[in-house]
Amino acid sequence: MQTIRGFRDILPEQIRLWQKVENLAVDLFTAFGYEEIRIPILEKTGLFARSIGETTDIVEKEMYTFDDRNGDKLTLRPEATASICRAYIQHKMYATEPVRKFYMTGPMFRRERPQKGRYRQFYQIDAEVFGLDAAYVDCELIFLLNELFQRLGLSGLTAHINSLGCPECRPRFTRALLDFLEARKQDLCDICTRRMDRNPLRVLDCKVQTCQTALTGAPATVDYLCPACEDHFKTVKTTLEKQGVDFSVDKSLVRGLDYYTRTAWEIQTTSLGAQSAVAGGGRYDGLVKELGGPDTPAIGFAIGFDRLVEIMEQLTPASAPPGPDLFIVALGDPAMELAYHLCCDLNQAGIRTDTDFRGKSLKALMKRADKLNARYVLIAGQAELAENALILRNMQTKEQVSIPMDGLRRKIETLLKNK
């Protein structure tokens, strides 16, 4: 039996980088006042179709959707933003305190063509802020990403930012874009010609080479911003500049989801081949209302956890996991019983202890303790049990002391805690 295409196991040998990233991210989010939220993996299909957009690649081609036994259409979440909005509305969080900041990590599912950095089950670290429309929040999120990457020791990542405008300025842009596309209709792929009528902005996100070529010189949203959006974007740019956050304005960045308004961004890398986006985010000031809640500005981002770890793997050589404080070498049945209880008791007392119940030889068990990188070894052989004293060996100095069985646990505790 094998995993299905695009799905993979993340093995203990790989997991330490994931834990390092997650711990740092949680520290940073907590410091900035974000709270953890956990959302279901399965939601009604309509939630994603309405928020991400019917004409996006995600909804048109990539969602894992199936009919439940009662006929409901359900989908494995392809992203977290829609679900977090649903939770914000469903639990009427806006009524008690409209300003809320959330983070979550977990698996997402998109049926894309698998390759390095692109999986069908992948993980995101997601952050969302509700109830704040100030441009400073946009900056806070970009700064936060930047800070996280710096703390992880990553360089060579650039924030590409753009403004997609709002319902006020979008119609003027859409008209200009449609005029541009009409003149090049014959060069566009079938999907784009279809999308032109329903959602012309999506054409700008097409990956087909002929479309990309045809789109050279297409109108850009930043050139059609209303004064309020212009002002908002200007504050974002000047604030980031003042902070020394590295970014570049990318007029062609439209993102692959429909809900965005105003600032949108991607953090890109050159070290992952074709998969250049390590994180993406933006404002979605209209989505809470669209999903049935009150008019609430919102903004967020998601980091591609798999991609981030892949970049780190290129930089960080794998290091051995920290070993146990104590490994008990138990030779024979009575020793194994003793080892079992001692192992549980010492772990309860906060001393990381491990043992082995295979009944192997002294030599084999010492080898195992060495491999595990244990600080100390407690030897419980027949001779030691007969003499009512076990041997404690410091694996680094090779020093050995004899410890009487009477009050053994407490003596080991004192010895190891003082070292």
Residues that bind ligand HAM (CB under 6 A): 79-81, 110, 112, 117-119, 122, 124, 126, 128, 256-257, 277-282, 284, 300-302, 304, 306-307
DSSP bridge pairs for 115: 118
**Dihedral class, residue 199 (left if φ above 0, else alpha if ψ from -120 to 50, else beta):** beta
For residue 362, what are the contacts with CB-CB under 8 A and spacing of at least 6? 329, 331, 379, 381
Task: Assess contact for 270 and 276: CB atoms under 8 A.
Answer: yes
- Looking at the chain, the number of H-run helices and the number of E-run strands are 16, 16
Q: Which two tokens stand for residue 64?
A: 């894992």
Of the two residues 101 and 118, which places its CB atom closer to ligand HAM in the complex? 118
User: Closer to ligand HAM at the Cβ: 114 or 381?
Assistant: 114
Interaxial angle between packed helices 190-198 and 170-182, expressed in degrees from 0 to 180 and rounded to the nearest 10? 150
Q: Which is nearer to ligand HAM, 281 or 286 (CB)?
A: 281
DSSP per-residue letters across 103-170: EEEEEEE--PPPBTTB-SEEEEEEEEEES---HHHHHHHHHHHHHHHHHTT--S-EEEEEE---TTTH
CA atoms within 13 A on the CB side of 48: 26
- CB nearer ligand HAM, residue 50 or residue 307: 307
Distance of closest approach, residue 266 Cβ to ligand HAM, in angstroms: 6
> Which has the closest alpha carbon to 215: 241, 248, 185?
185
- For ligand HAM, the nearest residue by Cβ is 304
Residues β-bridged to residue 301: 127, 281
* Cβ distance to ligand HAM smaller for residue 219 or 281: 281
**Nearest distance, CB of residue 68 and ligand HAM, angstroms:** 24
**Closest CB 295 distance from ligand HAM, rounded Å:** 18
Nearer to ligand HAM, 224 or 284 (CB): 284
Cβ 66 to ligand HAM shortest distance, Å: 19
Which residue's CB is nearer to ligand HAM, number 307 or number 375? 307
**Min. distance of Cβ 147 from ligand HAM in angstroms?**
18
Map residue 62 onto helix, strand or coil: helix
CB nearer ligand HAM, residue 58 or residue 369: 58
- Indicate left, alpha or beta for 332 from its phi (over 0: left) and psi (-120 to 50: alpha): left
Give the Cα separation of 67 and 170 in Å (integer): 36
What's the closest the beta carbon of residue 314 comes to ligand HAM, in angstroms?
16
Output the six-digit token pair for 269: 């890398």
CA triple 106-109-112, angle to 5 deg: 140
Min CB(53)–ligand HAM separation in Å: 12
- CB-CB contact of 6 with 112 (8 Å): yes
CB of 272: closest distance to ligand HAM in angstroms?
9
Nearest approach, Cβ of residue 112 and ligand HAM (Å): 5
Which of residues 200 and 281 has its CB atom nearest to ligand HAM in the complex?
Answer: 281
